[in-house]
Structure 1
Amino acid sequence: MLESLAANLLNRYIGAYIENIDPEKLSIAAWKGEVSLTKVKLSKSALDKLDLPVEVTFGYLENLLLKIPWTNLGSSPVQLKIDSLFLVAKPKVEQEYDEDKEVEQEFRKKQKLLADFEQKKENLRKEKEAQPTDNDRDQPGGISLISKIINNIQVQICNVHIRYEDCSSLSEECVSAGITLENLSLRTTDSNWQEKFIDSIPAITYKLLTLDNFSLYMNNKALSVSTADADGFAESMKCMIASEKSQYCFESRKRVHYNWHGRPKRANTEGLGARIGATFFFGASQVEHEGPPGPEAAPAGLQATASASPHHHRGYVPYPPPSFH
């Protein structure tokens, strides 16, 4: 039952963003426990759900790998890896109003909403059937199989570049803006932030989110990269991703660790208690401190969260962190 549910979810979510996906092959791959997509194009409608005045010019995914250890779900994590995801968007071109086309688009939207609703109902039914019975659960203090999967899933996303280009001016230059990310990973850990598989209900769940070289940029004298072929496009987009070797006029942040730990929401608890800590490695123009860290080094009302050394700068974040709703 879990295999069937996974296949349906993959077809629904992956198929909506990637061109020329064979649902049958995707389902077979899900049943085998390893879904691998290599050098695929993103759908032109990948951003339609955001309802923005932009359209996809070119989208490319180098590799997607999903590993589902069906025979060891109780002791091994599900792994999702995405590598080299590139997308370029442009402003939607103004077109003459066509009433018939508008009516047809509205009709298709309503059909899609109805289909999505029916699919959600079907997924809920299958999820309910997949819920383990009392005999399927672990011994007292344990958790269900589905909870284990959710609690221990591992995610790694590398080399992401989302770019917006406006080349509507008469010159050959474009106005461009973008977001790049070299690496993002999410792991389940113990209280010492060491990676660990959770096989029982913990008082506190620990997740370690690592974010490397996240950057924003804007350029009013750029050249379009969406005119290249697939290989050339991928190479151009990857070259613009910030890394440790990149050179900047001003570098504000190199590496960020977000350490999250919160108490699972249960019937006998009130709400979700969570606390977020952050470790920052800053560049220039931040508080400097040499020698062993000490509480006297922190400004009033702030708690230091980064270890200091002669070669590192020290950052501070408000403590306790603001609540999130």
Structure 2
Amino acid sequence: MLEDQVAYLLQRYLGNYVRGLNKEALKISVWQGDVELTNMQLKPEALNALKLPVKVKAGFLGSVKIKVPWSRLGQDPVIVYLDRIFLLAEPATEVEGHSEDGIQEVKKTRVREMEMKLLERMQRTKTEMNNSWLGSLVSTIIGNLKLSISNIHIRYEDIESNPGHPFAAGVSLEKLSAVTVDDDGKETFITGGALDRIQKFVELNQLAVYLDCDISPWYLDKPWEDLHPSEWDKVFRFGTKNGKPAEGLTKKHGYILQPVSGYARYTKLRENDLADSHEPLQKASVYLDDVTLCLSKNGYRDILKLIDNFAAFNQRLKYAHYRPRVSVKTDPSSWWKYAFNSISDQLKKGR
């Protein structure tokens, strides 16, 4: 039963965000205890539905590995590996509108109703699970989960915010890992009442943030969806582990945060431990080596332009339900109506 639930959840959530998910192969691998999914492309439309000021141009998930020790579940940890997460984003310039009035308020009402139902359902489920063997098992799995994420590169390219001065910003990370530890900092496995007091050790390798000014966007001679996995590596590896610029794609990064490594420790205490103590219920300590920050004059200029562009997008989004779906030349009167309704809303809010 638990195997079916795991397979269902993976299909449901991964299927919404990636292409190339083989449901039957996934179900078989879950039952065997070793789930391995490789070379999946992210669906841009899945994230674009969030109405963010940026949209996904291309994305790639190289490898997902999940090791589930079914025969010793509750005694050995579940291990999750993610490798080669590459994401390319760009400004979201179009805001889709709807002609019917009041649709925004209807959406808000529906969201509030769904939130209330979801909270009630979660509360009932939490109460039932806390009193069941399954709830105890799930808590044990989550409390001892081992996570390893490697080779992440998220890049944002912008040719619109500051016309004539295209720029690109990105975050890269070689590795991030997290394990459960004891009071001495050694990896351990906890069960029972010990789950009320969890300690996690997180290791960070080569985290970097860059901003490349006056640089052209990456140009490829084929569509992103046609790239071979090795070609995704060639393009995105620069900025992660031992990367070099792919020929004809980019130059050396201008780092805001030079590649930095470190570690962190997270502790959650039992509520009973706080009776005679002034310690916080949750505490996190972060230690970084050789932190170097730098921002050029041109970088500061581009950041200000980016903020202005995001603010303009959010302003348009407020009145998207009035926005016509035709061009100004096709139907000028509908755009005058759009302007009138938007200004009227502003005046009503002002009063």
User: In 2, distance between residues paired with 1:240 and 1:253?
Assistant: 9
Q: Could you tell me how far 1:189 is from its partner in structure 2?
A: 0.7
User: In 1, distance between residues paired with 2:234 and 2:289?
Assistant: 29
**SS of 1:37's equivalent?**
strand
TM score, norm. by length of structure 2: 0.63
Equivalent residue runs for 1:100-139 within 5 Å: 128=128, 132-133=132-133
Query: Is 1:90 aligned to 2:90, yes or no?
Result: yes
Residue 290 of structure 2 is aligned with which of 282, 293, 298?
A: 282
Give the letter aligned to residue 88 of structure 1.
L
Query: Is 1:212 aligned to 2:211, yes or no?
Result: no
* CA RMSD of superposed structures (Å): 4.3
Indicate the residue corresponding to 2:180 in structure 1: 188
**SS of 1:3's equivalent?**
helix
Note the alpha carbon deviations across 1:190-245, whole angstroms, 9 max, x for none. Answer: 11111111134227321001111111111122332363552433311111226699
> Is the alpha carbon distance of 1:237 and 1:47 closer, same or farther for their aligned partners in structure 2, counting shifts above 3 Å?
same
Indicate the residue corresponding to 1:38 in structure 2: 38
Q: Could you tell me how far 1:75 is from its partner in structure 2?
A: 1.5
> Is the alpha carbon distance of 1:75 and 1:59 closer, same or farther for their aligned partners in structure 2, counting shifts above 3 Å?
same
Contact 1:185 1:209 in 2 (8 A): yes
Give the letter aligned to residue 196 of structure 1.
T
User: In 2, distance between residues paired with 1:226 and 1:66?
Assistant: 35
Q: Could you tell me how far 1:47 is from its partner in structure 2?
A: 1.9
Contact 2:211 2:253 in 1 (8 A): no
Note the alpha carbon deviations across 1:14-62, whole angstroms, 9 max, x for none. Answer: 1111014243433333232222111110011232354302221110111
**SS of 1:222's equivalent?**
coil
Contact 1:204 1:261 in 2 (8 A): yes
Indicate the residue corresponding to 1:54 in structure 2: 54
In terms of fraction of residues, the more helix-rich structure is 2
Indicate the residue corresponding to 2:265 in structure 1: 259
Contact 1:33 1:70 in 2 (8 A): yes
Unpaired segments of 5 or more residues in structure 2? 245-251, 294-351
> Is the alpha carbon distance of 1:196 and 1:53 closer, same or farther for their aligned partners in structure 2, counting shifts above 3 Å?
same
> Is the alpha carbon distance of 1:72 and 1:269 closer, same or farther for their aligned partners in structure 2, counting shifts above 3 Å?
farther
Residue 144 of structure 2 is aligned with which of 152, 163, 168?
A: 152
Query: Is 1:240 aligned to 2:219, yes or no?
Result: no
Contact 1:254 1:281 in 2 (8 A): yes
> Is the alpha carbon distance of 1:31 and 1:4 closer, same or farther for their aligned partners in structure 2, counting shifts above 3 Å?
same
TM score, norm. by length of structure 1: 0.67
Higher RCO by CA contacts (8 Å cutoff, separation 6 or greater): 2
Q: Could you tell me how far 1:173 is from its partner in structure 2?
A: 7.3
Q: Percent identity?
A: 27
Give the letter aligned to residue 184 of structure 1.
L
Give the letter aligned to residue 267 of structure 2.
H
Contact 1:19 1:42 in 2 (8 A): yes
